[in-house]
Amino acid sequence: MPQLDTSTWLLVISSMLLALFTLFQLKISKHLYYPNPKMMTTKSEKQQTPWNTTWTKIYLPLSQSQ
């Protein structure tokens, strides 16, 4: 059984890494990065509900006597 020749592996792996690095650099450089977005203040409107303005009385259940 012949022995595997690994003398060119360093060249193949290093050229592959260089090619992947340049490919990703080109892909990343095509993206448009927007500048820092400005903070928008959101104004929350308080909704008027009937129970906010009127007073309600809470009664104990009838099963509980004094």
Query: Domain range holding 25?
Result: 1-31
Q: What is the pLDDT of residues 12-27, one digit of tens each?
A: 999 999 999 999 999 9
Residue 27 in domain: yes
Q: What is the 3-state secondary structure (H, E, C) of the chain?
A: CCCCCCCCHHHHHHHHHHHHHHHHHHHHHCCCCCCCCCCCCCCCCCCCCHHHHCCCCCCCCCCCCC
Cα distance between residue 2 and residue 38, in whole Å: 66
pTM (2 d.p.): 0.45
Give the count of domains, the chain: 1
Residues belonging to the chain: 66
Residue 16 in domain: yes
Residue 20 in domain: yes
Average pLDDT of every residue of the chain: 78
Residue 18 in domain: yes
Residue 59 in domain: no
Residue 43 in domain: no
